[in-house]
C-alpha cells in the first residue's frame, strides 16, 4: 500500500541502481557529531590531566553505545528505508535518543553516573524495535528475521537497565557480556535469511561516518589550538603541531578511500559482519586521535600535565590501529588490497617507534614524523597503483621490440 502518508515496508533490492544516502540519513548522522564530540572531548580532558589510560575503558564503552546505535540504524535503513511519515518519525525518536546519550557523557566521566546514557540508548534501541516490528508485519518474506531482531534487541535492553544499578566493580565485566550479546543478536537474527542491505549504500554510509569522525578530530585540534592561543599566544611549536595534525588527518582520509569495499561486500556478503563489526576499531581510533591531537597541542603549549611521550603515543597508537585495521578489514573482501601489507606493517612500526625518539626530536618532531609516515604511505600506494595500471594496459600493436 502506498499513500502520501505511508508506504508498505518491504525489503529493498540489493541491486538497486544509484542507491545513495538519503537526506534523512545525513540528518541522522549529524546527531552523532554531537555524541562523538562529547566522548572525544572528555577523553582529551582526561589526557591533559594525565589520566587517559584510566579513562580509556569508559571511552571505549560509551563509544560502543554510539557506534552500535548508528550501525544498527544504518543496516536497517539499507534494507527497509521507506522514507515515509512513520519511518521519519521513528528516526526522529532515535535522533532524540542520541542527543540524550550525548548529554549524559559528562556525568558519566565526572561522576560515573550513566543514567542519561542508558535512557538515551534505550530510546534509540526501542525505536529500532518498533521499526523491526513494522517490517515483520508488512514484509512476510523477512518476518522471521525481523521478529528475531525485535525480540533480541528488546531482551538485551533489560540487561542494560540492570547494568545501571550495579556497582562500578562489576559494571565493566557485565558490560562486556552485554556488548557480546548485542553483537550476537544480528548473527542469530539473520540465520533464517539475510536482510537485503545494499553493498554500495553500506560502503558509502561507512565512508560518510569516517568523514564525520575525522571532522571531529579536526574540530578537536582547532579547539586545542584556540585554547593554547588564548592562554599563551602564538608559538612556532603550536603552528607545526597544528599543520602536522591537519596533514595527518588528510592522509588518513585519503588512505581510507583508497581501499574500496562496495564490490567486495557485493561479492562476499557472508563477510559483511566481519567488515561491519571491525569498523568499531577504525571509528574509535579516529575519534581517539582527535583527543590525542588536542592533548598534543596543549602539551606543546605547556598547558598540560601529561608528558611529551604520553602525548605522542596518544597520537601514535590510534594511527597505528587505523593502519592495521584498514588491512585487516579489507584483506578478506578483495583479491589484493590496495595498500600493500608490508608497507602497512612498516608504517605501523615507524609510527609506534617515533615517540622513542622524543628526547632527540621533541614533541613537534614526533608529530611531524607521524604525519609524514601517513603521507608517505599515501604516496607509495599511489605509485603502486600507477605502476599496476601501466602493467595492466596492453601495449599498442607493433610497439613491442623484437
- The pLDDT of residue 304: 63
Q: Phi/psi of residue 2, each to 5°?
A: -130, 135
Q: Which residues contact 247 (CB under 8 A, 6 or more apart)?
A: 371, 372, 374, 375
Q: Would the pLDDT of 1 be above 70?
A: no
Q: Would the pLDDT of 70 be above 80?
A: yes
- Categorize the per-residue pLDDT at 109 as very low, low, confident or very high, splitting at 50, 70 and 90: confident
> Which class for 30: exposed (0-12), middle (13-18), buried (19 or more C-beta within 10 A)?
exposed
In angstroms, the CA 340 to CA 310 distance is 30
Nearest Cα residue to 29 out of 256, 289, 213:
213
In angstroms, the CA 383 to CA 342 distance is 15
**For 11, which DSSP code?**
P
- Categorize the per-residue pLDDT at 393 as very low, low, confident or very high, splitting at 50, 70 and 90: low
User: How confident is the model over 97-123, as a mean pLDDT?
Assistant: 89
- The pLDDT of residue 400: 45
Q: Would the pLDDT of 68 be above 70?
A: yes
- The pLDDT of residue 353: 97
- The pLDDT of residue 133: 96
- The pLDDT of residue 9: 92
- The pLDDT of residue 357: 93
pLDDT digits (tens, 9 = 90+) for 254-293: 999 998 898 899 989 989 999 999 999 999 999 999 989 9
- The pLDDT of residue 97: 94
Exposed e or buried b per residue across 192-215, where buried means at least 16 C-beta atoms within 10 angstroms of its C-beta: eebbbbbbbbbbbbbbebbebbbb
The percent of residues above 70 in pLDDT, for the chain, comes to 92
Q: Would the pLDDT of 151 be above 90?
A: yes
User: How confident is the model over 292-319, as a mean pLDDT?
Assistant: 83
pLDDT digits (tens, 9 = 90+) for 331-367: 999 888 999 999 999 999 999 999 999 999 999 999 9
- The pLDDT of residue 233: 65
User: How confident is the model over 101-129, as a mean pLDDT?
Assistant: 90
Exposed e or buried b per residue across 341-361, where buried means at least 16 C-beta atoms within 10 angstroms of its C-beta: eebbebbbebbbebbeebeee
Amino acid at each position: 500500500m502506498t499513500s502520501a502518508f505511508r508506504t508498505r515496508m518491504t525489503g529493498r533490492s540489493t541491486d538497486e541502481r544509484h542507491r545513495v544516502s538519503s537526506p534523512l540519513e545525513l540528518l541522522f548522522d549529524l546527531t552523532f557529531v554531537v555524541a562523538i564530540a562529547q566522548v572525544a572531548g572528555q577523553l582529551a580532558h582526561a589526557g591533559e590531566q594525565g589520566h587517559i589510560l584510566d579513562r580509556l575503558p569508559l571511552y571505549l564503552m560509551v563509544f560502543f553505545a554510539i557506534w552500535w546505535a548508528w550501525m544498527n540504524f544504518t543496516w536497517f535503513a539499507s534494507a527497509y528505508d521507506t522514507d515515509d511519515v512513520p519511518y521519519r518519525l521513528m528516526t526522529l525518536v532515535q535522533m532524540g535518543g542520541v542527543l540524550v546519550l550525548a548529554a549524559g557523557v559528562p556525568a558519566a566521566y565526572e561522576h560515573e553516573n550513566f543514567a542519561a546514557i542508558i535512557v538515551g540508548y534505550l530510546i534509540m534501541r526501542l525505536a529500532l524495535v518498533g521499526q523491526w516490528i513494522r517490517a515483520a508485519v508488512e514484509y512476510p518474506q523477512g518476518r522471521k528475521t525481523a521478529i528475531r531482531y525485535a525480540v533480541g534487541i528488546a531482551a538485551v535492553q533489560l540487561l542494560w537497565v540492570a547494568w545501571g544499578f550495579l556497582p562500578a566493580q562489576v559494571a565493566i565485566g557485565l558490560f562486556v557480556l552485554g556488548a557480546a550479546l548485542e553483537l550476537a543478536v544480528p548473527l542469530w537474527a539473520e540465520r533464517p535469511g539475510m536482510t537485503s542491505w545494499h553493498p554500495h549504500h553500506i560502503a558509502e554510509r561507512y565512508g560518510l561516518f569516517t568523514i564525520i569522525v575525522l571532522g571531529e578530530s579536526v574540530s578537536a585540534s582547532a579547539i586545542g589550538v584556540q585554547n593554547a592561543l588564548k592562554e599563551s599566544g602564538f608559538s612556532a611549536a603550536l603552528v607545526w603541531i597544528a599543520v602536522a595534525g591537519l596533514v595527518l588527518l588528510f592522509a588518513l582520509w585519503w588512505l581510507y578511500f583508497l581501499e574500496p569495499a562496495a564490490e567486495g561486500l557485493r561479492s562476499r556478503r557472508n563477510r559483511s559482519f566481519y567488515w561491519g563489526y571491525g569498523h568499531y576499531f577504525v571509528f574509535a581510533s579516529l575519534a581517539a586521535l582527535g583527543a590525542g591531537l588536542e592533548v598534543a597541542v596543549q602539551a606543546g603549549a605547556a598547558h598540560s600535565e601529561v608528558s611529551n611521550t604520553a602525548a605522542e603515543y596518544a597520537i601514535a597508537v590510534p594511527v597505528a590501529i587505523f593502519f592495521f585495521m584498514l588491512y585487516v578489514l579489507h584483506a578478506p573482501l578483495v583479491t589484493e588490497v590496495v595498500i600493500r601489507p608490508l608497507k602497512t606493517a612498516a608504517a605501523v612500526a615507524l609510527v609506534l617507534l617515533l615517540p622513542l625518539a622524543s628526547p632527540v626530536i621533541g614533541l613537534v618532531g614526533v608529530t611531524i614524523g607521524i604525519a609524514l609516515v601517513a603521507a608517505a604511505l599515501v604516496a607509495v600506494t599511489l605509485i603502486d597503483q600507477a605502476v599496476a595500471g601501466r602493467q595492466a594496459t596492453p601495449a599498442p600493436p607493433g610497439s613491442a621490440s623484437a
